[in-house]
Amino acid sequence: MPRYHIWTVGCQMNEADSAKLAAGLQRLGWEETPRPEEADLVVLNTCVVRQKAEQRGISKLGALRHLKERSNGRRPKIAVMGCMVGLRTDGLLKRFPFVDVFARPQAFSDVLTAVMPQEATGGEFWPESFPQTPGPTAYVPVIHGCNKFCTFCIVPYRRGRERSRPIAEVAHEVEVLVARGVKEVTLLGQTVEAYGHDLPHRPSLADLFRAIHDIEGLERIRFLTSYPKDMTDDIIRTVAELPKVCEYFNIPIQSGDDTILARMRRGYTLSEYRDVVDKIRRWLPAAAISTDVIVGFCGETDEQFRRTHDLLAELRFDKVHVAAYSPRPGTIAWRTLADDVPQQVKMERLHIIEEIQEGIAAEINTRLQDTLQEVLVEGEKGDKLNGRTRSDKIVHFHGQARPGDLVSVRIEKTSAWSFQGQQVALAYPT
């Protein structure tokens, strides 16, 4: 039986793509191996959104080169997919001549044709619609690409323009996943609230929530990533109304300064962003909100950075993903703006944000001490089970349950990152 190994870095969209590719390969008789040196096909699913992620992909490729050059043992085919692969691949081919195929995000068929003759697939081309191999949770991409062109971002160039999947197709995939034991789906998009604007009759994300909400056996619905300008009142209200939709929002702010936001071409002002957060907190008081921040963007002064810091202190997010700006070749900022904040200053700012956020998250989480939380069990480690609350907090706890069970856990200890607790019941009391 031929074996494959997939290495993935980057966002949930990449994880979903890798899971789909794995499901497709398994359906065609391939077996997964955790060891690339034992594989007939090694796929690197790459990310270039940040320099660090790109560097990891390049180092991994360097490490794989010797597999192709060794004189004995398997010499696997090597495929690189994901955001490292742009429209033109001649530069990559020159740099990494030992790679057999470069495939753009979601170009599964390019990977497959490199390793098997087309007739071996039975002409069954190809697994855009293969459901992933499931655990209790699964990612379901619902809108691909992005139309926003923020000046720092490579995504629209690599993943193309927004393309929504029809509601019926998404609903079918969710039904198949649930039939295989999935309890929670996360609907994915780079800007997930843009869902549907390109489809006939322009359904919204709220319509999609309603269409899958009553699938029997499905317990939770999540959605990622939010774009403040696309977040409508209807979407927030629908999250509040539908019990299976979890009250968790990831809404990147990126900067706390209007001039920087305009330079990033984010398309909203701080006051518009505050309005969205304010509505969510009024209509869903238990909601958790996380955000993304970039420090050291082109021309960011100490004063402008301080505004970001102060905004985080004011809005008190549950989680902040912070990154130091690195220019991405091909983007508007790379072409037109100077990357003029010294690296050392960027790192200082990054650590300041991490520090303030750790304090805020610890304080927010302390409020959940001694409460009962509904947890979806995802796995176990040592003598403890683990899972997540509806608000996406990680819980490690003692109890007796299996992955996929919804349990009620008393929270006994909290930190900025996770909770410890004790299971008190198998099903959460409704």
Residues lying near ligand SF4 in the complex (CB under 6 A) are found at 146, 148-150, 153, 155-156, 190-191, 227
Compute the least distance from the CB of residue 156 to ligand SF4, in Å: 5
Compute the least distance from the CB of residue 87 to ligand SF4, in Å: 17
Compute the least distance from the CB of residue 372 to ligand SF4, in Å: 36
Compute the least distance from the CB of residue 402 to ligand SF4, in Å: 37
Compute the least distance from the CB of residue 240 to ligand SF4, in Å: 24
Compute the least distance from the CB of residue 151 to ligand SF4, in Å: 9
Angle at the Cα of 61 (from 98 to 155), degrees rounded to 5? Answer: 110
Compute the least distance from the CB of residue 305 to ligand SF4, in Å: 19
Cβ distance to ligand SF4 smaller for residue 127 or 296: 296
Cβ distance to ligand SF4 smaller for residue 246 or 264: 264
Cβ distance to ligand SF4 smaller for residue 251 or 361: 251
User: What whole-number distance in Å separates Cα of residue 133 and Cα of residue 20?
Assistant: 8
Of 287, 199, 312, 174, the C-alpha closest to 235 is: 287
DSSP E strand stretches across 136-229: 137-144, 163-164, 184-189, 220-224
Angle at the Cα of 352 (from 262 to 301), degrees rounded to 5? Answer: 35
Q: At what angle do helices 12-27 and 108-115 cross, to 10 degrees?
A: 40
- Identify the bridge partners of residue 234 per DSSP, sorted by sequence position: none
3-state SS string for 123-141: CCCCHHHCCCCCCCEEEEE
User: What whole-number distance in Å separates Cα of residue 84 and Cα of residue 105?
Assistant: 9
Helix, strand, coil percent content, the chain, rounded in steps of 5: 40, 25, 40
Pairing mode, if any, of strands 220-224 and 319-324?
A: unpaired
Of 249, 258, 255, 252, the C-alpha closest to 279 is: 249
- Identify the bridge partners of residue 390 per DSSP, sorted by sequence position: none
Cβ distance to ligand SF4 smaller for residue 254 or 391: 254
Cβ distance to ligand SF4 smaller for residue 39 or 153: 153
Cβ distance to ligand SF4 smaller for residue 6 or 155: 155
Cβ distance to ligand SF4 smaller for residue 96 or 317: 317
Residue 254: count of CB within 10 angstroms of its CB: 24
Compute the least distance from the CB of residue 292 to ligand SF4, in Å: 8
Compute the least distance from the CB of residue 169 to ligand SF4, in Å: 22
Cβ distance to ligand SF4 smaller for residue 148 or 410: 148
User: What whole-number distance in Å separates Cα of residue 393 and Cα of residue 288?
Assistant: 9
Cβ distance to ligand SF4 smaller for residue 147 or 366: 147
* Coil, helix or strand at residue 320: strand
Angle at the Cα of 247 (from 323 to 418), degrees rounded to 5? Answer: 55
User: What whole-number distance in Å separates Cα of residue 142 and Cα of residue 197?
Assistant: 12
Compute the least distance from the CB of residue 144 to ligand SF4, in Å: 11
Cβ distance to ligand SF4 smaller for residue 148 or 281: 148
